Amino acid sequence: MNPRGAVSWLTGEHQMWLLPQKAIWWPAQSLLMVSDLHLAKAEHFRSKGLAVPSTVDFQTLGVLTSLLNQFRPAQLAILGDLFHSAPNRAWNEFSAWLSDEFDTGLQEAILVRGNHDRAHDEIYEAMGLVVVERWEDGGVVLTHEPNDDIPKGTIIHLCGHIHPAVRLRGTGRQSLVVPCFVQTSTGCEAGHRLILPAFGAFTGTHLIEPKRGVEAYLISESSVMGPIKANPKFGFSRRGRR
């Protein structure tokens, strides 16, 4: 099955699909991956008196439910920053949501701990989450941050944390900031590192510096486009597409 609007990344047992919903589908492992949901962030801001819509978490979980219904994965992996703030009402809402997903076929939900995931393991485990600092399988490693230590011989490193985006420049002074997946190398062993965009509906973005060797997969509402090579002179543009 070729998911609509998605881009195939790598081949064979490591073939994954980069989805316009800002997620990754790995068919061989029946694994759906997302990063940086930052649930409860809106509730935190509202508690400080700021007029933030209360529906953003429902938007985030609604999209995730649609993906789970579409792909029916055995496993869901969250690459850190599931929640943005200390426990509040939104945590209970997520717990109820996850229970419903287990009832409809999800077998395991994994939280790769991020910098915002500061609660004790027992709190996450009570929701049904498996909490790890790092997930590994056959040379594929999941962590939260790009700079996290990874084992020697890592083939693929998937991570999040930085909420990547690129600025596309048009004629004149026109420009557009677009979220993206970012591919780089893991270093001297030349493994692949792919940084996921933030999945949450209420998150900011961080502009990626167009260094040589960096490639971006741009995300629109309905499709992923790329890879597009970074050009230190021109930035990210279609002229850099390989």
The domain that contains 222 carries what CATH number? 3.60.21
- Taking 70 as the threshold, does the pLDDT of residue 84 lie above it? yes
**Is omega for the bond preceding 227 within 30 degrees of 0, making it cis?**
yes
Report the C-alpha gap between 102 and 5 in whole angstroms. Answer: 27
For 20, phi and psi rounded to 5 degrees?
-65, -15
Q: DSSP string covering 105-140, please?
A: T--EEEEE--TT--S-HHHHHHHTEEEES-EEETTE
The count of other CB atoms within 10 Å of the CB of residue 233 is 6
Q: How high is the pLDDT of residue 12?
A: 87
Please enumerate in sequence order all residues whose Cβ is within 8 A of that of 84, keeping only pairs 6 or more positions apart, or say none. Answer: 38, 39, 40, 41, 44, 116
Q: What's the alpha-carbon Rg for the chain, to the nearest Å?
A: 18
Residue 129 lies in a domain: yes
Check whether 32 has a pLDDT greater than 50.
yes
What single letter denotes the amino acid at residue 28?
A
Instruction: Using the predicted structure, report yes or no on whether residue 189 has a pLDDT greater than 70.
Output: no
Per-residue pLDDT band for 56 (boundaries 50, 70, 90) equals confident
Q: Does the pLDDT value for residue 120 go beyond 70?
A: yes
Answer yes or no: is 155 within a domain.
Answer: yes
Q: Kindly report the backbone phi and psi dihedral angles of residue 47, in degrees, each rounded to the nearest multiple of 5, phi listed first.
A: -70, -20
- For residues 198 and 87, which has the higher predicted lDDT (pLDDT)? 198
d(CA 117, CA 129): 12
| Distance separating alpha carbons of residues 112 and 87, to the nearest angstrom | 18
In which domain, by residue range, is 172 found?
7-140+150-240
pLDDT of residue 240: 45
Residue 46, judged by CB atoms within 10 A of its CB (0-12, 13-18, 19+), counts as middle
- Whether the pLDDT of residue 66 is over 90: the answer is yes
Please check whether residue 1 lies inside any domain of the structure.
Answer: no
Please name which of 126, 123, 122, 149 lies closest in space to residue 136, comparing C-alpha atoms. 149
How confident is the model over 88-110, as pLDDT tens digits? 788 899 999 999 999 999 999 99
Confidence band of 44 (pLDDT split at 50, 70, 90): low
The 8-class DSSP code of residue 222 comes to S
Q: Over 60: is that where the pLDDT of 2 sits?
A: yes
Is the pLDDT at 237 greater than 70? The verdict is no
Residue 195 has pLDDT above 50, yes or no: yes
Specify if 48 maps to a domain: yes
Residue 166 domain-assigned (yes or no) = yes
Question: In this structure, which amino acid lies at residue 242?
Answer: R
Q: What is the rounded end-to-end Cα distance, in angstroms, of the chain? A: 25
User: pLDDT digits over 129-186, tens only?
Assistant: 999 999 999 999 999 999 999 999 899 999 999 999 998 876 667 778 999 999 998 8
In the DSSP assignment, the letter for residue 239 is G
Q: How many domains does the chain have?
A: 1
Q: What is the pLDDT of residue 46?
A: 53
Rounded to an integer, what distance in angstroms lies between the CA atom of residue 172 and that of residue 165? 21
Please indicate, yes or no, whether the overall pTM of this predicted structure exceeds 0.85. Answer: yes
Share of the chain above pLDDT 70, in %: 86
Check: CB of residue 147 under 8 Å from CB of residue 161. no
- The reply to whether 145 falls in a domain is no
What was the pLDDT predicted at 49? Answer: 55
Residue 96 lies in a domain: yes
Residue 88 lies in a domain: yes
